[in-house]
Structures are given as C-alpha cells and as structure tokens.
Amino acid sequence: MTKVLFFKAPDAFGVIDMNLPAERIVRAVNQGRWEDVLPDAPGPLFARQQGDVVVITPSAPPPEEALPRLSRREHEVLVLLGEGLTTAQIALKLGLRPRTIRGYVANMKARLDAHNIQQLVARAVALGLFRPEV
C-alpha cells in the first residue's frame, strides 16, 4: 500500500492509499499516463517519491533556483512540525522560546505562501524540502 499526497490546487490536497508500488505510480504519472493511476485527474501532472510517500502536483516541479531556502534551524522546526509537535513542544525540545519558534514558522509560511501549519508542511513535502517519516 502506497500513500499518495495529491495536490489538486496550491491550497487543496488529499491523501490516497493505492495498491501499487511507489515507483510504478511515479513512472506512470511522469510518462504522461496519469490516467492509469488517477483516472479522474486533469493533467499534466508531476510525481516524485519522498520516502514511502508519493507526492503528485498539477505541473512540473519548479526550477531548482526557485525553491525557497531554509536555514538549518527552520528545517529542524519544519521536521518537528511534520511529526505533529506544537510550537511549545518544539521550543522545549530545542531549548528556545515559543515566540522564536512562532517567528520561524511565520517566516516559512510567508516563503511557502502557506496560511496554516498543515499547508506549510504539505507544501514543504511537495517541494521536496523534507521527507516525512511514515
């Protein structure tokens, strides 16, 4: 069973469980045969594998230079958000103030055009900024 994170639009996504190997899903989508795995999805689509998760977006990936850059600390915070920790829990774990963590989150949300933490994490995964542990 492969988990697929499918972005229908920049702010709308769903999670689908598929009985196909991740490599087969990625290959079909990137070869223009997304109807084989997602019959009702409009194309063109792009897929990439992030660990055990396949991320599918409505278009080709952004050029490498267009990807937002995260500092080491922002990346740490992002990974911990992806694990489901709150800003208070992250602050305690990293030995920082909650206000500092909220500042990191606000900066990342602005750079990734996210309105909430869930959207921030989903967009970061879609852009390949980190790989979630499933």
- List of domains in the chain: 2-57 (no CATH), 64-126 (1.10.10.10)
Q: What is the pLDDT of residue 101?
A: 96
pLDDT interval class at 11 (50, 70, 90): low
Q: What mean pLDDT is reported for the chain?
A: 84
- Average of per-residue pLDDT across 9-17: 76
The DSSP element (H or E) to which 54 belongs, if any, is strand 53-57
Residue 128 φ/ψ region, left for φ over 0, alpha for ψ in the -120 to 50 degree band, beta for the rest: left
Task: Give residue 81's pLDDT.
Answer: 93
Give the pLDDT confidence score for residue 89 in this predicted structure.
Answer: 96
Q: What is the mean pLDDT of residues 75-83?
A: 92
Peptide bond into 44 cis (omega under 30): yes
Asked if residue 10 has pLDDT above 70, the reply is: no
d(CA 12, CA 4): 14
Q: How confident is the model at residue 77 (pLDDT cuts 50, 70, 90)?
A: very high
Collect all residues with Cβ–Cβ distance below 8 Å to 72 and sequence separation of at least 6. none
Exposure class string for 66-90: b at 16+ Cβ within 10 A, else e: eebebeeebbbbbbbbbeebebeeb
